A and B are shown apart, each in its own frame.
Chain A
Amino acid sequence: MTAAVKLTEVSKVYGRGPAALLAVDRLSLTVRRGEFVCLIGASGCGKSTLLGMVAGLDTPTSGQVDTGGHRVSIMFQEPALFPWLTARKNVELAMRARKVPKKERQRRAIELLASVHLAEFADQRPHELSGGMRQRVALARALAHEADVLLMDEPFGALDAMTRDLLHDELDRICSERSLTVLFVTHNVREAVRLGDRVVVLSSRPGTVIDEYQVPRSGPRRIDSVQVAELASTVTDRMREEMSRHGS
C-alpha cells in the first residue's frame, strides 16, 4: 500500500489564550494512491481546515502532513474562478504558474474543458455560465495542475440535486481515467457513500476520526440505489449518535 496523503496526529488551534479554539485534534488518516476517500461530519468538525492543511494553505499547529511529494490541487464549494477571465483563460492560468509553454497551455485548456463537456463555452466568462458549468470549469482548472491528489471541499454543495447527480457520474469517470487520489469533504452522507471507496466520519469540535466505512466496489453506483441507501443510513445513525453526545 502506497500512501498518497498521510496525516499523523495533526492538530490545529485557532487563536491564542482562553479564546483559542481547537479545530482539529490529533487526527490521523492515510489515503492510498488512487483511493477516493470521503470525509464526513457535522458542522465544526474542521473538514475545511483539514483540506487547507493538506493543500498547504494552512499549517498544522502540531503533527505532520505528508503528501509524499505528490502534486495537490484543491476545489472549493464556490467555483472561485477569476471573473475577468474566460473559462479557457481560467484553466490556462493554472498552467501559467507552472510555466507550461503558451501553445501547450492553450491546447491542454481546450482538452480539459472538452473533458468536462465545456469546449464550446471556452470563451465565455464565468458569469455567463450556470452554477454547474462554473463548477466544471473549476474542476477543469483543478485538473490542469496535473495533480495526483485532488482535494474537494464540498464542491457540489451549492448545486441542485439533478446537476449534482450528473457531476457525480462525471467525477467517477474522470477519476478512473486519470487514476486520481481524491479527498472529498461533504456533509451529505449519500453523496459520500455514492462517491467514496471509503467514508471517514469525523467528530465535531474538535475534529478527529471516530469511524470509517469501506464501501464495497461493485460496478457503477447510483445515489438512489439500495446499497447506497443502506450504508448511508448506517453512517447517518453513527453521526446522529455523535451529535447527541454534544446535545447532552
Chain B
Amino acid sequence: MAVNTAITGLDTLELARQQAGSKSAELARKAWKATWPKLLAIAIVLAAWQLFYGSDFHGDTADHFVKSPASTLTDLSDQLKHAQLWQAIGSTLQTAIAGYLLALLIGSVVGALVSRIPPLRAAVGSIISGLQTMPSIAWFPFAIILFGDNESAILFVMVLGAAPSIANGLITGVDYTPPLLLRAGKTMGLRGLALYRYLILPASLPAYVAGLKQGWAFAWRSLMAGELLVIIVGHLSLGVLLNTAQQNQDLSGAISIMIVILVIGILVDMIFSKADLAVRRRRGLLDSPA
C-alpha cells in the first residue's frame, strides 16, 4: 500500500539525518579528547610547583621543607611500595564506603518519604536545606562529645553531610517528574506503588544520580576532616598519615598523601560522572551523541 511505503520512506529520511554524525571508529580521538585536559592540568600544577621551588619566594633556601616536584614524587612512589600507605588507603576507603552507604540508605528513605507526604515535606524539607548549609566540620565537636573519639563520630558527620544531598536529589527528581508523563501514567492505569516504581522513580533518576554525586563529595570531605580531627588510637588512615607528616614537618610526605586523597576523590567522582552521563544519554538529554 502506498501509504505504508510513504511512511517507511519518511522514517528513513528523518532518521538518516540523525545517524549521520555518530561513527564508532572515533574511539581513540575521544580518549585523547578526554585525557588531554587532565594531562595539561597536571603539567600546569607541576610547572607552578617547580617555579615556586626554584624561586626564593618561600625563603627556605636550605631545602628543609620545600621539596621539588621530582623529589616529592619519588617520595610518593617510595611510600606506595610500603604496606603502610596501602593499609591506610584501605581503611579510609572502608570508612568511606560504610559512611556513604549509610548516608545513601538514610538519604533515600528520607527523600522518598518527604517527597510523597506533604506535611513532612513542609517541616523536614527546610531542615534538609538547613543541614546542607551547615559546614560538616562544625559537627565534629558535637559528634566527638556524643560518640567519643571513634569511627562512629566520623560516620555520624559523614551521614549528616551526605544524606541531605541525596535526599534533596530524590525530592527534586520527584518534583520535576513532567506532569504530562504523570497524566499519561494515570491513563495507563498506573496507581500507587506501580506509579512510583514504573514512572516516578525512573523519572527522578537523573536528579537522584546528581544528588548521589554531590553526596559523595560531601561524604569524602567530612571523612577527611574527621580523620584529621578524630584521633582513634591504633587506627591507621590517610588522615593519620597526614597528621604524622604535619607533626614531623614533612612537607613532601604531606603532599604525597594529599595527592593520594586527590586521586581517590577524582576517581570516584569520575565514576559518578560516568553514571550521570549514561543516564542522561539513555534519555537523549545530551546535546551531542558524544
Residues on A close to B: CB < 8 A?
52, 55-57, 72-74, 76, 78, 80, 82-85, 93-94, 96-98, 117-118, 121, 125-130, 132-133, 141, 145, 162-163, 166, 169-170, 173
> Does the CB pair A97–B284 fall under 8 Å?
no
Inside 8 A of A56's CB, which chain B residues have their CB? Answer: 187
The CA-CA distance from A52 to B184 in the complex, in Å, is: 11
**Mind listing 20 A-B residue pairs with CB under 8 Å?**
A72-B187, A76-B183, A82-B181, A82-B184, A83-B283, A83-B285, A84-B283, A93-B188, A117-B7, A117-B8, A117-B11, A121-B11, A125-B283, A126-B284, A128-B15, A128-B284, A129-B15, A132-B14, A166-B7, A170-B3
Inside 8 A of B186's CB, which chain A residues have their CB? Answer: 57
In the complex where A126-B284, A128-B18 touch, is A117 in contact with B187 (Cβ < 8 A)?
no
The CA-CA distance from A56 to B186 in the complex, in Å, is: 9
A84 to chain B, nearest CB (A): 5
Closest residue on chain B to residue A94 by CB atoms: B188
In the complex where A82-B199, A145-B188 touch, is A130 in contact with B15 (Cβ < 8 A)?
yes
> Does the CB pair B10–A162 fall under 8 Å?
yes
Closest residue on chain B to residue A71 by CB atoms: B189
Q: Does B20 contact A (CB under 8 A)?
A: no
Q: Does B228 contact A (CB under 8 A)?
A: no
Contact among B3, B11, B180 for A133, CB-based, below 8 A: B11
In the complex where A130-B14, A166-B6 touch, is A80 in contact with B284 (Cβ < 8 A)?
no
Interface range, B side: 20 to 34
0/1 per residue, B1-32, Cβ < 8 Å to A?
Answer: 00110111011001100100000000000000
Closest residue on chain A to residue B2 by CB atoms: A169
Inside 8 A of A73's CB, which chain B residues have their CB? Answer: 187
The CA-CA distance from A127 to B281 in the complex, in Å, is: 10
Q: Does B271 contact A (CB under 8 A)?
A: no
> Does the CB pair B283–A80 fall under 8 Å?
no
> Does the CB pair A76–B184 fall under 8 Å?
yes
Residues on B close to A: CB < 8 A?
3-4, 6-8, 10-11, 14-15, 18, 178, 180-181, 183-184, 186-191, 194, 198-199, 202-203, 205, 282-285
Inside 8 A of A166's CB, which chain B residues have their CB? Answer: 3, 6-7, 10
The CA-CA distance from A162 to B3 in the complex, in Å, is: 12
Inside 8 A of A84's CB, which chain B residues have their CB? Answer: 202-203, 205, 282-283
Inside 8 A of A126's CB, which chain B residues have their CB? Answer: 284
The CA-CA distance from A145 to B11 in the complex, in Å, is: 25
Inside 8 A of A129's CB, which chain B residues have their CB? Answer: 15
A159 to chain B, nearest CB (A): 11
B204 to chain A, nearest CB (A): 11
Inside 8 A of A117's CB, which chain B residues have their CB? Answer: 4, 7-8, 11
B8 to chain A, nearest CB (A): 6
Contact among B14, B180, B189, B282 for A97, CB-based, below 8 A: B189
In the complex where A57-B186, A163-B10 touch, is A76 in contact with B180 (Cβ < 8 A)?
yes
> Does the CB pair B10–A57 fall under 8 Å?
no
Inside 8 A of A145's CB, which chain B residues have their CB? Answer: 187-189
A75 to chain B, nearest CB (A): 9
Closest residue on chain A to residue B19 by CB atoms: A128
> Does the CB pair B198–A125 fall under 8 Å?
no
In the complex where A80-B184, A82-B202, A83-B284 touch, is A97 in contact with B11 (Cβ < 8 A)?
no
Inside 8 A of B6's CB, which chain A residues have their CB? Answer: 166
B85 to chain A, nearest CB (A): 42
Centre residue among A84, A125, A163 by max chain B CB count within 10 A = A84
Contact among B11, B184, B283, B284 for A130, CB-based, below 8 A: B11
